């Protein structure tokens, strides 16, 4: 099981995958917005999205878990 974590604090601008979706290593999972910049957060491993722990518009801190890939 792989946790996808935020690399910086910011708002969840867009979630680009759904629970149950197959993702590949390097594929964008969530796009954060911080300081007027869009920061894509990618999967570090291939697998299936088991859980999304955030919703669009949520504020997250550095290292918060955004999704779980199995």
Give the model confidence (pLDDT) of 4-57 as tens digits: 999 999 999 999 999 999 999 999 999 999 999 999 999 999 999 999 999 999
Each residue of 19-30: pLDDT tens digit? 999 999 999 999
Distance CA 39, CA 48 (A): 22
Structurally, the chain folds into a number of domains equal to 1
pTM, to two decimals = 0.92
Residue 47 belongs to domain with CATH number: 2.40.50.100
Distance CA 19, CA 40 (A): 18
Q: Domain limits at 32?
A: 2-69
The partner residues of 14 in beta bridges, in order of sequence, read 31
The answer to whether 13 touches 28, Cβ cutoff 8 Å, is: no
């Amino acid at each position: 099981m792989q946790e996808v974590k935020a690399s910086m604090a910011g708002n969840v601008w867009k979630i680009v995958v759904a629970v149950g979706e197959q993702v590949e290593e390097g594929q964008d999972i969530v796009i954060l917005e911080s300081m007027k910049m869009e920061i894509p957060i990618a999967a570090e491993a291939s697998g299936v999205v088991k859980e999304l722990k955030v919703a669009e518009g949520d504020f997250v801190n550095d290292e918060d878990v955004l999704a779980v890939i199995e």
